[in-house]
Copies of this chain bind each other. A is one copy, B any other.
Amino acid sequence: MLSKKTKYALKALINLAGQPPDEPVLISELARLEQIPRKFLEAILLSLKNAGLLQSKIGKGGGYFLAREPRNISIGSIIKVLEGGYAPVQCLNASNNPGCDECNDFSTCGIRLVMTDVMQAISSVLETTTLADMVERSDNAKQANANVVDFNI
């Protein structure tokens, strides 16, 4: 289950995706628009910047903007920053692998073997879907709604 933090991050990025990259957006502006606690959002944006997904400009006229085009930012890469990966069990996270407490034999653990398949399935979606796709799908849905309204009128 995505944490609130991750959802906040996605919302902020969706917002920034609709903004020209030469017009930085203020943290406080983003917080207000997306209804995210300002200080909490600060920390989120900083993580995204440290991960190379965002850039920032300090001082007057500063703010945040996307480091690359929305179609070059996968949803998976975003989630990895906020949640540290999307493995259904700890022992499948590539690096920092402390293994599972409950597991006596890593190599034959049935849970891990099945969860490897699950993770693969998740990956295949998250790695191929981009921020641009997410925005596009939302826009399409809005368009569809608008058409229904037109029809009813």
A residues neighboring B (CB under 8 Å): 1-2, 4, 7-8, 10-11, 14, 35, 75, 87-90, 100-102, 107-111, 113-115, 117-118, 121-122, 124-126, 129, 133-135, 137-138, 141-142, 145
Given the known A-B contacts A102-B4, A142-B108, are A118 and B125 also in contact in the complex, defined by CB atoms under 8 Å? yes
Residue of B1, B102, B118, B122 touching A11 (CB-CB under 8 A): B102
CB proximity of A55 to chain B, nearest CB, Å = 22
CA A121 – CA B123 in complex, angstroms? 9
Chain A interface, DSSP helix/strand/loop, else mixed? helix
Set of chain B residues within 8 Å of A89, measured between Cβ atoms: 1-2, 7
